[in-house]
Amino acid sequence: MKPTAKTPTVAYLRVSTDKQADRGLSLEAQEAKVRQYADLFELDLVDIAVDAGVSAKSIDRPALARALAMLESGAAKALLVVKLDRLTRSVRDLCDLVDRYFRDGDCALKSVSEQVDTSSAAGRMVLNVLSSVSQWEREAIGERTAAVMRHKVANGEYIGGHSRFGYKVASDGTALEPVADELAAMTRAKELRAQGMSLRAVAKALEAAGYRARNGRTFAAMQVARMVAA
């Protein structure tokens, strides 16, 4: 019997930052894993395309484009990655790639970590489930983070960046402490606004009372609006 021909495969590696090396995702670690996988499953690793220091926000990447071109030309029949997030972090982009290159089963997408192989219908189903769960996890984390930040801001806690008007960063850099003159200006602005004065009129009244913005200039109407809303 003739031995079964090995599937010509192009591996795709990507790192966005040097820090990923600490999590076993360095280019060297990825290459070692795809070579081991190719040997184990008897794939013909015809090329390794590498995008170094490139984000997954877009699939418009030089090495990825080269790898996909190999699938289109028939030079490769499979695309191999260590993890799906090396290919993309977007469910939409992943679905687009699957629809364009892997839906009919002529070419396969293979992932070492997730054990995904789209050469079968079952493999394509697993890929869809995994990508949907990953998207849900990212969105849930984002929602929780946003909720925590809103709570901290509401309590006057420091969350990094520039301190809001009325407060300054404490000497230890971990908290906010009040600025008496700025808080007094805010209190006066709210009082005048409650009396029905326009934002511009409030700004002029603050100027007449000797209050100034942090840059030493008089307050603009938009600054007054933020002070009143705080």
| Strands (DSSP E) found in the chain | 7-15, 43-52, 78-81, 108-111, 116-117, 167-169, 176-178
Are the beta carbons of 139 and 109 closer than 8 angstroms? Answer: no
Q: Is 171 a catalytic residue?
A: no
Dist CA 92 CA 97 (whole Å): 9
**What is each CA distance from 16 to 38, 51, 94, 120, 197, in whole angstroms?**
24, 8, 18, 31, 52
Q: Out of 16, 113, 119, 134, which one is annotated catalytic?
A: 16
Dist CA 130 CA 228 (whole Å): 47
Active site residues: 16
